[in-house]
């Protein structure tokens, strides 16, 4: 699987929440070229996960459509791997069985599975943990397994929903560095949801700042800083201030909305 661009055209998503309709996304248009690392950034409730789930094919748009590798997205597919915040590992399987699980389903020969799993264990520094169960691993290690499991399937597109949100700062930075290394080696297209401004600047080629309800593209920014990026540099902090102001505006709208809703109830 080589080509891996994503096209999002006129996508809107409306949820029926009891009596109310919630417009989670309105008229999103994006072209994500092959190999780009994109972060979707914005405060809680601005539709980041909704957009990611639509690209994954878990929840289809109400209007508009999405193409991955030129093919219309009508459901989940092996060309798009997803990493969630909450690890989503099988607790009854060891690390190596978790990583190899999808390959078995695909009908790969056991010897080939062993070889692929061995390479991934090495790539993610998990070799010493191959026989452990998820409950015996730290959060960071579990997330390494979740990433290895998606990489095993060799999808050209990786979709990541706040994958490092539950980790402590040091573990988070280590995994960010690993992800950048893997991305540079394997040339995947990555769409990564975060509400951390620093994480977005550290990782992304491009940051899509979203508005709060309805979710639209507020700003589409190419990050020109050379990697590895230094969060203490002046240029990094300048961008952080600029993005901080944009996100704050949307946070304020969220806050005002909550006050309005409370008044209605
Ligand atoms: N299944 C659903 N039914 C009704 N409303 C939904 C549903 N899923 C999401 N929403 C609403 O759509 C909006 C966007 O939600 P979404 O989870 O995509 O935002 P987000 O930016 O990913 O936020 P967070 O960072 O908190 O996950 C929110 O107002 C949310 O309440």
Same domain for 74 and 183? yes
- 239: domain CATH number is 3.40.50.300
pLDDT score recorded for residue 20: 85
Q: Is residue 38 part of a domain?
A: yes
Angle at CA 47, nearest 5°, toward 232 and 242? Answer: 30
Q: Across the strands, what pairs with 78?
A: none
Q: Is residue 198 part of a domain?
A: yes
Same domain for 199 and 70? yes
Same domain for 178 and 242? yes
For ligand 1, say whether the CB of 15 is within 6 Å of any of its atoms.
yes
Q: Is residue 105 part of a domain?
A: yes
Residue 129 and residue 141 in contact, taking contact as beta carbons nearer than 8 Å: yes
Tens-digit pLDDT profile for residues 74-118: 999 999 999 988 768 999 999 999 999 999 888 999 999 999 999
Same domain for 54 and 23? yes
Range(s) of the domain holding residue 138: 90-154
- Give the DSSP H/E element, type plus range, for residue 48: helix 48-56
Number of domains present in the structure of the chain: 2
Same domain for 257 and 214? yes
Sole residue written with tokens 């979709």:
159
pTM of the predicted protein model: 0.94
- Give the DSSP H/E element, type plus range, for residue 260: helix 234-264
Q: Is residue 1 part of a domain?
A: no
User: What's the N-to-C CA distance of the chain in angstroms?
Assistant: 51
Among 107, 136, 154, identify where a domain stops: 154
Using the mean position of ligand 1's atoms as its centre, give its distance from the Cα of residue 85 in Å: 15
Residue 99 and residue 145 in contact, taking contact as beta carbons nearer than 8 Å: yes
- Residue to substitute in 12, 13, 24 for testing ligand 1 pocket (most ligand atoms within 8 angstroms of CB): 24
Tens-digit pLDDT profile for residues 55-76: 999 999 999 999 999 999 999 9
């Amino acid at each position: 699987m080589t080509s891996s661009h994503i096209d999002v055209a006129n996508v809107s998503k409306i949820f029926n929440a009891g009596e109310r309709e919630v417009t989670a996304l309105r008229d999103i248009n994006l072209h994500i070229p092959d190999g780009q690392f994109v972060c979707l950034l914005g405060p809680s409730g601005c539709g980041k996960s909704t957009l990611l789930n639509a690209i994954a094919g878990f929840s289809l748009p109400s209007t508009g459509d999405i193409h991955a590798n030129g093919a219309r997205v009508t459901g989940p597919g092996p060309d798009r791997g997803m990493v969630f915040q909450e690890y989503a590992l099988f607790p009854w399987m060891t690390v190596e069985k978790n990583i190899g699980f999808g390959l078995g389903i695909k009908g790969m020969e056991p010897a080939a599975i062993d070889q692929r799993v061995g390479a991934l264990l090495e790539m993610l520094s998990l070799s010493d943990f191959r026989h452990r169960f998820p409950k015996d691993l730290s959060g960071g290690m579990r997330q390494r397994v979740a990433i290895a499991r998606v990489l095993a399937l060799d999808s050209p597109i990786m979709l990541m929903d706040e994958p490092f949100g539950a980790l402590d700062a040091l573990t988070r930075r280590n995994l960010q560095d690993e992800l950048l290394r893997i991305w540079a080696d394997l040339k995947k297209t990555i769409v990564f949801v975060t509400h951390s401004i620093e994480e977005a600047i550290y990782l992304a080629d491009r940051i899509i700042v979203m508005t709060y309800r309805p979710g639209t593209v507020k700003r589409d920014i190419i990050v020109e800083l050379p990697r590895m990026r230094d969060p203490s540099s002046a240029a990094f902090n300048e961008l952080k201030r600029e993005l901080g102001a944009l996100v704050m505006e949307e946070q304020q709208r969220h806050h005002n909305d909550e006050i309005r809703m409370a008044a209605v109830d």
